[in-house]
Amino acid sequence: MRMSPRLWVKSFFDFYRDREYFARLVHIAWPIALQNLFASALNMVGGVMIGQMGDTSIAAVGLANQVFFLFNLLIFGITSGSAIFTAQLWGKQDIPNIRRVLALCLLLGLAASLAFLILAQVAPQAALRLFTNDPAVIEQGSGYLRTAGWSFTFLAITLSFAAVLRSTGDVRTPMVVSMGALGLNMLLSYGLIFGHFGLPRLEVQGAALGVLISRAGECAALLWLTYRRKSSDLRSPAAVTLNDLSGLDLAFARRVLGPVLPVALNELLWAFGIAIYSGVYARIGTQAIAAINILSAIDGLAFVVFLAIGNACAILVGNQIGAGEERLAYRTAGRSLGLVILGGIGVGSLLAIAAPSILGLYKVSPEVIYSTRKLILVLACFTWLRASNHTLIIGVMRSGGDTRFSFLIDVGGVWVIGVPMALLGAFVLHLPVYWVYLMVMADEVAKWFLGMWRFFSRRWIHNLAERI
């Protein structure tokens, strides 16, 4: 029986009439969105400041940050994989096992940070040569990476604690600490890049030093806030102790790492794929990678709401599955998907309209401006698709414990479709960077169709909390 348009509209509004869903979503999402908005806005301002130094400087910092990007995504894989358990365990109020999961997460994160720190100190030039052969870009980027690379350990600790705090309902503490650190980073960068506030003018090295100092302060502040309450009754669920570390055993580690490792490997392989994209764009030319770096800052700003909804969806769905409310988890996931699709269409439209005004902030060559404007138009058309894919993979499948299928479509999309498309467009067809970027979006189309099929099948729902 066909449904009339009027009934479709009525069904749509009935589906979104649940006030409790919106109340819980907003409670979790708005601090995450505000934090991401603040971070993306300051990242864009930072890019504008570095952009005053010229195309080479913005390309150098952008490529050095590709190493940070790889590290961030590896740690995100470890922490978000662990948060699958902690969100579901919080649904059944199992605090001892939440702390044991965090202890394991910290050990993995610190091991990863040590590996990346060694790379940053011993072979930064070799890492950057994967992306570009421009000697000036490699020289500036290597210096930036050596200085800022000392922050890897601080970042691993911070992200581990922040993930568990969010999954147990405390979204404000990580937000406040992160925003404070970002503000400090911006002030230090402004002073050290240009030589203001009585500080030396260090240009690109000043930006790196600002990152290091702010990350150290962020880590110290978050640990203090987590452990400040002495009473065991008031202590944060994330207040892991040495006893929790010593209480780890091989059987527990295997149960946790089974779903966590596919997520960590997913993020690492996905990040390598994205790094290859950056390498391809850089090989097109320094102006091409400068345009991509400007686009990345704009993209980060445009995507903050969708990151927040996807992460909030993951927490809500995880809590509901852990509490045994699987039907409610499915409806929560469906509502969140609908929101990001509609929101993506709206944000994409605004991006297309605002592109000229945004690009007026940058003092770069006309060729970079032209390429970036074309890139923004591609981004605007695909924003809704990328937003729904993020919610499908992070907010739905991973939070439901379906980490292997999410691994297959996320990594498979990049390596089977995206990377070959980038190589074909740049090195065979010799297309401009914006056409190559458009070809890469075929990856998002494939992921969306497979992800929606998996969502409607409900095979992504797994109660992992029952296995511990």
pLDDT tens by residue, 34-46 = 777 766 666 666 6
Residue-averaged pLDDT of the chain: 84
Residue 11 has what pLDDT? Answer: 52
Tens-place pLDDT, residues 378-414? 999 999 999 999 999 988 998 888 988 999 999 999 9
How confident is residue 333, by pLDDT bands cut at 50, 70 and 90?
A: very high
- The answer, yes or no, to whether residue 440 has pLDDT greater than 60, is yes
Which whole-number Å values give the CA distances from 111 to 104, 218, 350, in the listed order?
11, 20, 42
Residue 233 has what pLDDT? Answer: 55
- The answer, yes or no, to whether residue 7 has pLDDT greater than 60, is no
Report, as an integer, the average pLDDT of 285-304.
Answer: 83
The answer to whether 287 touches 55, Cβ cutoff 8 Å, is yes
- The answer, yes or no, to whether residue 10 has pLDDT greater than 60, is no
Residue 285 has what pLDDT? Answer: 83
CA-based max dimension of the chain:
75
Tens-place pLDDT, residues 239-285? 787 777 666 777 777 887 788 888 888 888 887 888 788 888 888 88
Residue 396 is classified by DSSP as: I
Residue 94 has what pLDDT? Answer: 82
Tens-place pLDDT, residues 104-126? 888 889 999 999 999 889 888 88
Residue 425 has what pLDDT? Answer: 94
Residue 1 has what pLDDT? Answer: 45
Of 152-161, 191-200, 307-316, minimum mean pLDDT range = 191-200
In the chain, % of residues over pLDDT 90: 27
- The answer, yes or no, to whether residue 424 has pLDDT greater than 60, is yes
The number of CA neighbours under 13 Å toward the Cβ of 422 is: 22
| Residue predicted with more confidence, 241 or 12 | 241
Residue 251 has what pLDDT? Answer: 79
Report, as an integer, the average pLDDT of 155-169.
Answer: 88
- The answer, yes or no, to whether residue 132 has pLDDT greater than 70, is yes
Residue 38 has what pLDDT? Answer: 67
